[in-house]
A and B are shown apart, each in its own frame.
Chain A
């Protein structure tokens, strides 16, 4: 979409006005500074997804819409989790992080902050695997997606 003030609010407004769900939404400028790229994760029947695609295309600021889930694609989300890491559980937490290919990016004598990247379900699985009481704080970016192979979203 055009990298214009208010473009994000047009997309968000469309979803709320027409009663569509947004599970997550990420947006940032691309290598072309006049363009932003947004990844929206939403749910709906084929009819609803078709309407969402058409309604998004109708927005003047939107240049192109692709449904990534129609074909092979890669989806990544970044999560930062602050966990309790004391006593016996400190070593266990480090092992869990390693198993999920997380990286510990901040350390205190009582906590670790773990950075984890992957598809949403992988991040969910990591949180599931942890002891609930050990999770102090989480923050997630929402998914960014890109088509596999030659599938490209370019204008």
Chain B
């Protein structure tokens, strides 16, 4: 039987097992929406802005490991989606974004709501397609899902002109798709893995440095096994948190610009560094020239060859899926009879404990003002560390990463690479759809939350009981912090004046609003909020305006040049 392009889109999404499509209708996608209306295989979630549709699909993907799907119209619908697409691209999140396009005959005519979506998104997608013939549609969508979810994952855009959604063709959904130009490496090279294991066994001052690749490849179990059987210290990037339990004594905390003293010092002074699904980016190692350390050898495991030797030269590169490579390493290490230098490891740990005793995460616990760190610690306590925590971007993001001890992967959901303000709440929506019974908290700031505040309406429509944890310091805090440190206290445009009454705002959308002004009220308010299991609670914590994120490595410096409190 022949189907229209619009019917094919909907059938393909169903074939892929899509549960949710986050989207917003418009002229170019009206045919598709008509078919969405007629089906019951997946649920469509109407957002209030296309950026939020992509972030929600992204949050869903990060929390589940499945491919998120967004559907937007042409022109402004498509351009609004771009920030979401770029966010997913930087963090390697599998998404399929379907955008409407003007009819093929109108392309290039500066038609109403026309934009070159394939051109605009080219630098921020894993791949994109413009489907000009309905006979290519099903195979293209199959390819899009295949590309998005395999190898190093990423967003794929499928741009579909309106006439293609009207045209008819026979529908068959390909079971499998192969592309001669795309063959991601999964298994690591056995010789390289052997070399790496040998180096690990000989290490005197080893250090594991893990990133988002551990989470993306579902390798937390293999990583935990590897680390524990060796007893090595381990750190994680912002993106990798939860890949190894933060409450474990081997975990030295997050590293990087706002990482712990012990993690950064151990990175710098180790003799064998094992980088796993991480990419040595500027916020992690600072200046590569300062990072260089004579005599330190580096093993680097990553599925993407371009991540290896991009910023830092390595001694043993291993291209492969982190999960597969770590499983192979575990096998080899278990089978090995080699004596390891336990005395050296013990000395190394003594050094690390000395660094740790600096207690770089301390803050003033006796303040009469609410300290943001305290709110996160209490959030962890009240949720028993079992919540999904999304965040926006800025100081609150760093405090959430530092003080909510993530013990499981896929619980910490934030925009690490692109640093997108406005990500937190829509991402939390996607998480809550994926896990309706779970506690989902969005840690945010008064700057970030206003970048997608309209989604309070979506939350009402779909009864999403998010808990919004607003750390309100009336400043764009991270901007203010840099202005304080590096711009002579000239707070250019970083004061957030004319803030709304957030409680009333939340209430006007039909949610619960709370304002918390005293440290002694923090815990009670959090308990009360999380007890309201079926309501969104918007918690406005009035925090210390002057609090800064420590430790800090100034941009362009090295890991051992930290500013402590």
* CB<8 Å pairs between A and B, sample of 11: A6-B118, A9-B122, A13-B122, A47-B313, A50-B309, A51-B310, A54-B305, A58-B305, A60-B127, A60-B179, A63-B181
Residue A99, interface by CB 8 Å: no
Residues of chain B contacted by A2 (CB below 8 angstroms): 181
How many of chain A's residues have a CB under 8 angstroms from any CB in B? 20
Q: Are A55 and B182 in contact (CB under 8 A)?
A: no
Q: Are A51 and B306 in contact (CB under 8 A)?
A: yes
* New A-B pairs, 7, CB < 8 Å, besides A51-B306, A54-B305, A58-B306: A2-B181, A6-B130, A13-B123, A55-B306, A57-B305, A60-B127, A155-B180
Interface positions, chain B 287-336, Cβ under 8 Å from A, are 304-306, 309-310, 313
Given contacts A1-B181, A2-B181, A61-B181, contact A10 B122 (CB under 8 A): yes
Residues of chain B contacted by A155 (CB below 8 angstroms): 180
Residues of chain A contacted by B127 (CB below 8 angstroms): 60
Chain B positions near chain A (C-beta within 8 angstroms): 118-119, 122-123, 126-127, 130, 147, 179-182, 304-306, 309-310, 313
Q: Are A62 and B181 in contact (CB under 8 A)?
A: yes
Interface positions, chain A 1-44, Cβ under 8 Å from B, are 1-2, 5-6, 9-10, 13, 17
Cβ distance A63 to chain B, nearest Cβ, rounded Å: 4
Cβ distance B24 to chain A, nearest Cβ, rounded Å: 26
Residues of chain A contacted by B130 (CB below 8 angstroms): 5-6
Given contacts A55-B306, A60-B181, contact A9 B126 (CB under 8 A): no
Q: Are A47 and B309 in contact (CB under 8 A)?
A: yes
Cβ distance B298 to chain A, nearest Cβ, rounded Å: 15
Cβ distance A2 to chain B, nearest Cβ, rounded Å: 6
Residues of chain B contacted by A10 (CB below 8 angstroms): 122
Residues of chain A contacted by B119 (CB below 8 angstroms): 9
Cβ distance A50 to chain B, nearest Cβ, rounded Å: 7
Q: Are B123 and A17 in contact (CB under 8 A)?
A: yes
In the complex, which residue of chain B has the Cβ closest to the Cβ of A5? Answer: B130
Residues of chain B contacted by A6 (CB below 8 angstroms): 118, 122, 130
A50–B306 Cα gap in the complex (Å)?
A: 9
Cβ distance A32 to chain B, nearest Cβ, rounded Å: 11
Cβ distance B132 to chain A, nearest Cβ, rounded Å: 8
Residues of chain A contacted by B181 (CB below 8 angstroms): 1-2, 60-63
Q: Are A60 and B126 in contact (CB under 8 A)?
A: yes
A57–B182 Cα gap in the complex (Å)?
A: 9
In the complex, which residue of chain A has the Cβ closest to the Cβ of B307? Answer: A54
Residues of chain A contacted by B313 (CB below 8 angstroms): 47
Cβ distance A56 to chain B, nearest Cβ, rounded Å: 10
Residues of chain B contacted by A47 (CB below 8 angstroms): 309, 313
9 nearest CB pairs, A to B:
A60-B127, A63-B181, A54-B306, A54-B305, A17-B123, A55-B306, A13-B122, A60-B182, A58-B306
Among A2, A57, A58: residue with most chain B CB under 10 A: A58
